[in-house]
Amino acid sequence: MIGRYGMKQVMLRNGINVPAIGQGTWHIGDDPHMHDNEVEALRTGIGNGMTLIDTAELYGYGKSESVVGDAIKPYDRGKLFIVSKVLPQNAGRKNMRRACETSLKYLGTDYLDLYLYHWRGSIPLSETVECLQELKDSELIRDWGVSNFDTRDMQELARLKQGGNCVCVQDLYHIGSRGTEYSLQPYLRKNSIAFMAYCPLAINGTLRSGIIGNPVLQQIADAHNSSVQQIMLAWAIRDGNVIAIPKSTAKEHTIQNAVAGDIELTDEELKMLDKAFPAPYKEVPLDVE
C-alpha cells in the first residue's frame, strides 16, 4: 500500500495534492556501495506517505535519477510524484528535450510530474519557458516550475506569455534561512504557486552551525518527544503552502522525517522560534547553501 494515513498535503494550482514532506536526493547515487540502503530509504519514504521524490540531472549526472528509478520500480507510477530539474545550459531549444528524455530514461518512466528549471543561466527566460511548455504539450512532463528564483525573477516570469503556468518554486529554506519569507513566499501564496523547500534540515549548507544545538529548538523537541530535526520539518511546513524535501539514506531517518508531519506546533512555540530565529525585516539575497 502506498501512502501513510494522515500525511499532510499541499494542493498545487492544478488541483493535484502532494505530500507536505517529500524526499530529496542530493548526493544520493554518489557512492555505489550505498545503493541498496538508498533504495530502501526511498521505498520506506513512499510507504510512509512521502510519495514526492525530488531529483535532478545535476545530481551525479544521472546517478541519483537511476537510484530513484530503481526505487520506484515496484510501485504504481500514477501514485507517485516525481520531480527532476534541467541544468541552465540545457534549458533552451537546443538541449532541453534531450535532457528531459535522458532524465526519463534514468528514472525508467515516460513522464515527469514536475520539471524544474534548476537556476538561471544565459539562455533567455522566454525561450526556457517556451521549451518547458512544449514538453508539457508533448506529455513528457505534467507541469513545470523553477528553482533558485527570487521575487524579482518571478515577476519577470509572470510577464512572459506562458509564465503564469509555473506551478511551483523551489528554494533553500529552513529555520536558519528565512529570506524567502519577506516577499517571495507572500507573492507565491497570492498567485497560488506552491513553494518547495530544499535543505529544510540545513544538512548540506554553511548555515547549520548554531541551529541543531539551539536550546529553544531542543526545548520544543523535548516537549513533543521528538528530535530537533523533526521540529525543523514541522516548522517548515507549518503554513500549508510549503513542501519540504529532506534527504535520507537510512530507513530509520526516513521514518522520523515522515512522522514530523504529525507534529503541530503551538502559537507560543512558533513565537519562541521567531524570537530565536528572526525572520528578515527587509529584502535579502537568497541563500543557496
Going 8 to 148 to 62 to 246, the CA torsion angle's sign is negative
Closest listed residue to residue 220, CA positions, set 279, 280, 278, 271: 271
What Cα–Cα distance (Å) separates residue 245 from each residue in 20, 55, 131? 8, 10, 26
- In this structure, the dihedral spanned by the alpha carbons of residues 59, 63, 65 and 71, taken in order and rounded to 10 degrees, is -130
Catalytic residue among 59, 106, 117, 173: 59
Cell 530565529 belongs to which residue? 277
Burial class (CB in 10 A: 0-12, 13-18, 19+), 1: exposed
**Known active-site residue 59:** yes
Going 143 to 145 to 151 to 154, the CA torsion angle's sign is negative
Active site residues: 59
